[in-house]
């Protein structure tokens, strides 16, 4: 079954249900209108996409997505990989800072002695015990 026929059937079903909710006389017009709208919309989308189902990259390069006013940007695979590596580096640095803090709390607790420790941090859970 082609995508246009599937969209027409889905639109007709939705239109029929919507028409039934309003009045019995609205079932057939709802089915016809929304079925046609689904088929036409699918045909338009089929004509705008390439045969493999993805938009052409040249279409995205000149579109509104790359304008200076858009908050989003089209990234290549290399740019995306670099971005992810930078974020992983930041997360690793944050983890190292937290581990240093845990070690500092443990050394302070050990220096105070075992009877007075009020903030001993367990290594497995990271929770503070009183």
For residues 51 and 114, membership in a common domain is answered with: no
Q: Average pLDDT, stretch 115-125?
A: 50
For residues 27 and 84, membership in a common domain is answered with: no
CB atoms < 10 A from the CB of 39, how many? 21
Which residues form the domain of 58?
A: 1-73
For residues 60 and 101, membership in a common domain is answered with: no
The more confident residue out of 96 and 55 is: 96
pLDDT of 122 over the 60 cut: no
For residues 33 and 46, membership in a common domain is answered with: yes
Q: How many domains does the chain have?
A: 2
For residues 43 and 94, membership in a common domain is answered with: no
pLDDT tens figures, 85-115:
999 999 999 999 999 999 999 999 888 876 5
pLDDT of 119 over the 80 cut: no
pLDDT of 47 over the 70 cut: yes
For residues 84 and 117, membership in a common domain is answered with: yes
SS3 assignment, position 121:
strand
For residues 108 and 62, membership in a common domain is answered with: no
- On whether the CB atoms of residues 48 and 55 are closer than 8 A, the answer is yes
- On whether the CB atoms of residues 5 and 48 are closer than 8 A, the answer is no
Q: Which helix (H) or strand (E) holds 129?
A: strand 128-129
């Amino acid at each position: 079954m082609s995508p246009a026929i599937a969209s027409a059937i889905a639109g007709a079903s939705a239109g029929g249900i919507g028409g039934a909710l309003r009045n019995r006389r609205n079932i057939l017009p709802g089915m016809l209108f929304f079925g046609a709208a689904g088929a036409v919309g699918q045909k338009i989308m089929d004509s705008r996409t390439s045969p493999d189902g993805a938009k052409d990259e040249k279409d995205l390069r000149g579109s509104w997505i790359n304008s200076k006013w858009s908050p989003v940007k089209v990234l290549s695979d290399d740019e995306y990989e670099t971005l992810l590596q930078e974020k992983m580096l930041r997360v690793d640095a944050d983890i190292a800072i937290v581990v240093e803090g845990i070690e500092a709390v443990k050394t302070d607790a050990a220096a105070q002695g075992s009877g007075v420790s009020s903030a001993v941090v367990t290594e497995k859970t990271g929770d503070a015990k009183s």
